[in-house]
Structure 1
Amino acid sequence: MTNTATPALVHIDPTELLVDINIRGSLRLTADFLASIAEQGVIQPPTAVRTADGALRVRTGHRRTAAAVQAALPTIPVLVIGDEATDDAATIDRLVAQWSENEHRTGLAEADKLDTIEQLSLLGVSAAQIAKRTKTQRRDVDAALAITGNADARRRLDDGLTLDQAAAFAEFEGDEDAARQLEFGIRAGRLDHTVQRLRDRRAEAEARRAAAADYIAQGITNLDSRPSTYSSPARALDRLVTEAGDPATIENVDNEHLVVYMEQETTYHLAETGDEIDYDDIDFEAETGEDAEEGYTHHDAAEERTTWTPEFYCLDPAAAGLREPGHSGGAATDDDGKEAARAERRRVIANNKAWGSAETVRMDWLKKQATRKTAPKGAAAFIANTLATRAQLLTSYRTGRIRNDILGTKDADTTSYRPEPGVVPLIAKASDARALVLSWIQTLAAHEAVTNNHCWRNYYSDTAHYLRYIESLGYTLSEIEEQACGNTPKITG
């Protein structure tokens, strides 16, 4: 660190100052800035430290110094704050000071932020401390650290991407399809949704491989996607027969000719008994505590389960000695019906996955909102309208769980009939402005609690207006959320 000598103000020719150590890669000397220095001189002195050989090295104020040189100013004021030190502690102090100086003036370029965070990390400063000392969001620090050592992500950062955007490419390094989707997500303004879908896809692929473990052990190749039966000779095994006309099965076909795709199935069951029930027999509109419509099951009494069903394919039927059987008109019609049912089931599964991904992004956004010190404009009206029209939402069991998830709280006593909500201690120590934020978050949680993957299938005006409301606050809707909004117009003004 520099010593604690009393700072001294000196006037010196700017060309004599050393400006070789700076975290900013480009000084960005704009025409207006240069004109201001030329006309008014340097009003706020740069700071400098004295080197071992007596020279002055600029610590903060490199832009002002460079502009003074270009303006040919004979001297400028410089505040000498001590002798230069070069140990790790001094280097960390310099990096943090230059970050603060630059970021709160013209702002650092993303590449400069990355370089500084990387240097601090190499000096042993933890990610949490980097965020604290540079007053940077932890998310940005983590993004920068993810990019370090990744040439492609660094190149994309240098080409103009933000830290968050470039970090997404680092996360999915080596996945060309993911890179294409990320590029599209950036252009469409939906990068968060794209990243979450890719994460979910990766997790699903891992779950699919785990589900196929027994078949993999038998030498049957596991596929992450269903093989095309249009652009390749691959055919579903249950549509093939042997030369003798017997149905093809995994027992009479060599494993070398087989692949398996594990189909993800979503089923619904009674929570109490586990009996399977039909989705269409579930009443999703009944409020918590209310009776379901006669003949239907209340959604609180139902649970969703995921199962994996193997679909076997033969990649080359001819090589395996298999063929397609002849079809009568009736059989073809039956097959067409089965395929249509399969296609609809796949559409439902795909859209349910899309809704699940969007829900994760939405909850992350709500958690960020929960850190606000003041509520956005119109929050009080949103709360008042909910109290007037949907007050019962605030007391439902699921609302409490969502609220706790958003705020990171836990109810005091979950065994009592009316446990004290975890938000109560936060309210007790909150300012009036912060208390309004907490009221607003609880109201948002109440609306979030009544959304789930049935909302994309059927139009619910409450869900549509809730999604349009958070969109008006800066949240970007995904395609599936847009579908849930139906014809509900955007909120403007």
Structure 2
Amino acid sequence: MPATLAEPGTHELTETEQIEPNPRDAEDNPDADATTSPNAALEVVPPLNAEAGFRDPRELVIGENIRQEFDPADHPKQAASIQAFGVQAPVLVERETDGSLHVLDGQVRTLIAITEGVGTVPVWITDVDTSIEINERRITRALRQLNLNDRRIPITDADRAGGVALMLDLGASVTRIAEGLQTEHAKIRTAGVIGRSATARGLLDDSQYSLPQLETIAHYEALGDTDAVAQLSFPRINFRYRATLIEQDRAMTRARLAAALPYAEIGFGVLTEDPDLATEPTNLIPATDLVTGEGETVTETEIYADAYRWAVYVVVDDSDADLIAEDTGELVDPDTVDWDATEPGIEPGEGLRSAHGLVTRQRWVPAYYLLAEHLPASGLQVPVPEPVVDRADDPVDATDTEQADREAARAARRRVIELNKQGSAAKIRRIEFLTELLTARTAPPGTAMFVATSLNREPGLLASWGASTTTHKLLGVTSTGELTEKIAAAATGRAWVIVLALVLGALESQIEKDSWRRPPSGAGRYLNFLADLGARKGFALVDVERAITGEIDYNDIDLDNPAAAPVGDEMVEALAA
């Protein structure tokens, strides 16, 4: 409602305090009300007859105010706050010569208090200065009102998050804080996580990171993972990709330790990193470099017999994986699967089982290393290599050759492992991007041409293995029947979005974590289409995807800084948009 003039009341002040002026101040400042220079601090003389107390808000007069229109119904959070806590900041009031009390500052608080039925509000009352001409009083009043409103220093988001974290640490429940701050429970939980992280709080007021991103940073800082915090704090480009890489790396570390646990129980030492035998001093000798006293290859049986002399490092066998039933964990022979029966309603061929519900599981294989100090007592030995003659008949040390070959194999294995990690992270990011993209009511430009080209080049695309599963995930449905219902209810624009989802889901299902070295036929065109769609949404292809499109060679990808792909002008403009 607009600010209106209320009838002044005659209610006596309660719990008031008389503030007496300092006579010395009055003597020393005879011109205290005179205008001072802009650079001089105004020495304010305490007003005569100032009172602090409580009044019924209906007794206060909302007179002339620079805020012309105000409707309490438009400010439900302020109303909820006053309803819960009452008016906390005193209303500044001037007493006119007739005794009426006019609000100088606190019009909003007063009107909401009246609307919410609050009985009393705190007030600070001063007598109007009748020695000043009426227009000058109005000017002064407007100046004071504007300054009181414009010069309030709002609390920062970082301080707000810190305050929430403090209350949570002191034992307040999320519900109590959410109700007290008139906000959602989820926001309180997020603010609590961010508020406990010095790094996340420091980035919060920059407004460059979203709350979920800051929550991710705070999560790793709470774990003491300083490396993850450093990677995520700068730069913000490809944040989700970086976060996914870190998440997968930490998950891989946990999985590796879990896979190594049975070896530790037997007595093996467990290595947490793949030893660099070529460039770093080490006391480890690979089992492949050892032979028995008879010159035979060392077997696992012999290694297990003296497990305490050995250390093991487990790695994922990228050349093979276990096929299992997702619901039971049963190991499945791939030759017993009908790979055309991908849907629950499709009957598999005779003697075969459906491919629906089957997933792959990593297979871990051990690499054994003998601790060098145990070599003499182990009965094993490092064979003495025979000299090899090159084309120029110059002797070449076979040890150097073998070491170089071993290091090359190690580097190649590391590249495969790291690029597979990047491939998995890129897929997660694409799925998130597509899921959001496909919530639109109308299809993006270029959809018809892309769909027509894709289906023309691959007529069986929509029936390919995994296509429907991926499409259902992108559209948030659980079955073909549910999707059929959505198609029937869709308007033309939305129907085109579903058509696009069918094609994108099929193409996405063909891209695996290792597609960087064996790109599917339509993958390059598909990824470039996504890059075009994402140009204004901050989505750009990362290096492992650019290797699939053929833009770069996967051998040139920086393994130590995978998210530091070159950012062109288009990407910079997209982020700034």
The corresponding residue for 2:460 is 392
Q: What aligned pairs does 1:307-318 form with structure 2 within 5 A after superposition?
A: 307-314=363-370, 317-318=372-373
Alpha-carbon distance, 1:119 to partner: 9.9
SS in 2 for 1:313: strand
Alpha-carbon distance, 1:200 to partner: 1.4
The corresponding residue for 1:81 is 112
**Identical pairs, percent:** 24
Q: What aligned pairs does 1:424-463 form with structure 2 within 5 A after superposition?
A: 424-460=484-520, 462-463=522-523
SS in 1 for 2:547: helix
Distance verdict in 2 for CA 1:175–1:123, change over 3 Å: closer
SS in 2 for 1:80: helix
Take 2:117 and 2:466, find their aligned partners in 1: how far apart are those partners? 56
The corresponding residue for 2:275 is 227
Contact preservation (8 Å) 2:283, 2:373: no
> How many residues of Structure 1 are paired with residues of Structure 2 in the alignment?
384
Take 2:569 and 2:504, find their aligned partners in 1: how far apart are those partners? 17
Aligned match for 1:157, one of 194, 204, 207: 204
Contact preservation (8 Å) 2:241, 2:426: yes
Contact preservation (8 Å) 1:236, 1:313: yes
Contact preservation (8 Å) 2:2, 2:68: no
Distance verdict in 2 for CA 1:480–1:373, change over 3 Å: same
Distance verdict in 2 for CA 1:251–1:53, change over 3 Å: closer
1:195-247, Cα deviation, whole Å (9 max, x unpaired): 11122122222221221112222343323321232223232331565997988
Q: Which amino acid aligns with 1:410?
A: T
Take 1:196 and 1:86, find their aligned partners in 2: how far apart are those partners? 52
Contact preservation (8 Å) 1:117, 1:141: yes
Distance verdict in 2 for CA 1:210–1:46, change over 3 Å: same
The corresponding residue for 2:530 is 470
TM-score (norm 1): 0.62
Contact preservation (8 Å) 2:442, 2:496: yes
Contact preservation (8 Å) 1:222, 1:261: yes
Alpha-carbon distance, 1:141 to partner: 7.2
Distance verdict in 2 for CA 1:351–1:85, change over 3 Å: same
Take 1:374 and 1:328, find their aligned partners in 2: how far apart are those partners? 72
Alpha-carbon distance, 1:360 to partner: 1.7
The corresponding residue for 2:385 is 327
Contact preservation (8 Å) 2:157, 2:204: yes
1:292-339, Cα deviation, whole Å (9 max, x unpaired): xxxxxxx99x99653212223356x24764875432235534565455
Alpha-carbon distance, 1:434 to partner: 2.9
Q: Which amino acid aligns with 1:82?
A: A
SS in 2 for 1:348: helix
Contact preservation (8 Å) 1:10, 1:80: no
The corresponding residue for 1:406 is 474
Take 1:239 and 1:340, find their aligned partners in 2: how far apart are those partners? 15
Distance verdict in 2 for CA 1:354–1:180, change over 3 Å: same
Aligned match for 2:255, one of 195, 207, 222: 207
Distance verdict in 2 for CA 1:115–1:365, change over 3 Å: farther
Alpha-carbon distance, 1:391 to partner: 4.6
Alpha-carbon distance, 1:401 to partner: 0.8
SS in 2 for 1:309: strand
Take 1:143 and 1:386, find their aligned partners in 2: how far apart are those partners? 42
SS in 2 for 1:262: strand
Structure 1 gap segments, 5+ residues each: 1-6, 13-39, 58-73, 88-106, 276-298, 412-419
The corresponding residue for 1:261 is 313
Alpha-carbon distance, 1:258 to partner: 4.0
The corresponding residue for 1:181 is 231
Q: Which amino acid aligns with 1:45?
A: F
Aligned match for 1:45, one of 70, 74, 77: 70
Q: What aligned pairs does 1:35-114 form with structure 2 within 5 A after superposition?
A: 42=67, 44-45=69-70, 47=72, 55-56=90-91, 78=108, 80-83=111-114, 111=158, 114=161
Is 1:237–2:262 an aligned residue pair?
no
Q: Which amino acid aligns with 1:375?
A: A
Q: Which amino acid aligns with 1:401?
A: T
RMSD of equivalent CA atoms? 4.8
Contact preservation (8 Å) 1:8, 1:80: no
Q: Which amino acid aligns with 1:262?
A: V
Looking at both structures, which has the greater relative contact order when contacts are Cα pairs under 8 Å and sequence separation is at least 6?
1
The corresponding residue for 2:194 is 147
Contact preservation (8 Å) 1:11, 1:77: no
SS in 2 for 1:261: strand
Take 2:360 and 2:413, find their aligned partners in 1: how far apart are those partners? 15
Q: What aligned pairs does 1:345-360 form with structure 2 within 5 A after superposition?
A: 345-360=413-428
Take 1:439 and 1:56, find their aligned partners in 2: how far apart are those partners? 61
Take 1:480 and 1:486, find their aligned partners in 2: how far apart are those partners? 10
Take 2:462 and 2:90, find their aligned partners in 1: how far apart are those partners? 67
Q: Which amino acid aligns with 1:226?
A: D
Structure 2 gap segments, 5+ residues each: 7-64, 73-77, 93-103, 119-153, 324-331, 336-354, 389-397, 553-567
Q: Which amino acid aligns with 1:348?
A: V
Take 2:520 and 2:188, find their aligned partners in 1: how far apart are those partners? 40
TM-score (norm 2): 0.54
Aligned match for 1:369, one of 434, 437, 446: 437
1:242-261, Cα deviation, whole Å (9 max, x unpaired): 99798886457672x64321
Take 2:370 and 2:5, find their aligned partners in 1: how far apart are those partners? 83
Alpha-carbon distance, 1:491 to partner: 13
Alpha-carbon distance, 1:400 to partner: 0.8
The corresponding residue for 1:68 is none
Q: What aligned pairs does 1:478-493 form with structure 2 within 5 A after superposition?
A: 478-487=542-551
Contact preservation (8 Å) 2:267, 2:307: no
Q: Which amino acid aligns with 1:327?
A: P
SS in 1 for 2:460: helix
Is 1:379–2:447 an aligned residue pair?
yes
Contact preservation (8 Å) 1:268, 1:305: no
SS in 1 for 2:494: helix
SS in 2 for 1:194: helix
Contact preservation (8 Å) 2:438, 2:497: yes
Take 2:403 and 2:164, find their aligned partners in 1: how far apart are those partners? 60
